[in-house]
Structure 1
Amino acid sequence: MPSFTLPSTARITRTHKVSAALVATASCAAVVALSAGPSNAEASAGHAPTAVKPVSANGLPATAKAKADDAKTDGEVLASVADRIKVTAVAEQGHTAKQAANRSTERKALVTKKATPKAAPKAAPKAAPKQYANNLDGWIREALDIMDAKGIPGSYEGLHRNIMRESSGNPNAVNDWDINAINGIPSKGLLQVIQPTFDTYHVAGTPHNLTDPVANITAAANYAADRYGSIDNVNSAY
């Protein structure tokens, strides 16, 4: 019975090599596995050759040139795979960087967005000037407010008491019989003030008119404060 044996040597060419596929993940890692060997169809169980030596296409041992060509081809394959890995990695990096830049721009836009300024509160309307009655009570109250602002002492009771004694509340009252009248400078007004005294103790902000009720009261109170400490201390002619 004839026996069959495999040749002691076999040519391993590129067609017998199996190049592993590129496995790409989200992090662009790639693993290339290269393996070489005869297929299952070329090797049967129990008949594996004891040694494999490179041979040429005619079955003769491979020359140095053939070896170099195969090495060059294998190098080109590996270089091609490496280039693909590199290009893929660069593209992924660029895409990731672009996404990061877009997100950064979005966050910056949100942070730097100016809030709509709130409307300034409306200024409170100015209070209307205080109104005083055009009578003795109103004149005394207005005079007291001016005296308080100017630091002139006096009370409602002290003013009212002296006004009633001097003029009975008549702002146009004139004394034409006392020594002042004889000297040509009669006393006038609510508190019977002569013109020189009025001119000296006139209170700024009031009319420069001797018979004006408020101007007469404040000037007399200013004079009394200088001479007696306060109009409240006056109980007779002064």
Structure 2
Amino acid sequence: MPAKGKHRRPKLRLISRGVTFAGVSGVAIAVPLIGASAASAAGPAPQSAHQTGVRAEATAAGAAKAEATTYAVVAGDSLAKIADKQGVPGGWEKLYEDNREAVGDNPDFILPGLELALGGKADTGESKESDSGTKAATASVTSYPDNLDGWIRESLDVMAEHGIPGTYEGIHRNIMRESGGDPQAINNWDINAVNGTPSKGLLQVIAPTFEAYHVPGTSTDSYDPVANITAACNYAADRYGSIDNVFGPY
């Protein structure tokens, strides 16, 4: 991203029951025969409280394990492919419903590295309601995954705090064109590099531009993914109105 000169990008889921008759004073009385088969028909012996408790604990542990199952998205995945491959009840619609906060508003767009919950809603960090009916306070600091999806989402939150426009799709599109998603990318061949200020990071920002449009609260390292994205979007907003309006070298 040049401060002045033209920017160039790097090249870069039936029991029978028998009877017998016993004679008592000449009267025949029918007496049922209870053998091994009849005993088995009575069903299994009742379990002890200890056995029941152990089984309950095992069941609960199994349920918890099933709830905690996750899947990491890889290149070429789609919600439909993942749901089919992982046998998700309810198909991709259920998978999307359970992971909507992580996936976003577009179910057709998922990034490699994104963690999806299988068989239950993704943990959003919000505590469950206690027995008394009160709810514990949620964590004050949002946690972001250390991948491209997390970097973009964190940057968007910082941008929102500073009134900098831009969308996930606009940022992602430009990152893939400029660096292919590599936060350590550097352009050592264009005019900026010749002038001693090579373009760096996810959105290929040169040092003067990064310093001029750096957003407080982010790292001062231009290779830092969030700082790089946020500064670039701040620059794009100033020059083009929004990073969404950038479709080529800027």
Which protein has the bigger strand share?
Answer: 2
Q: Which structure has the bigger radius of gyration?
A: 1
Bigger RCO (CA 8 Å, 6+ sep): 2
TM-score by length of structure 1 reads: 0.48
Higher share in helix: 1
TM-score by length of 2: 0.45
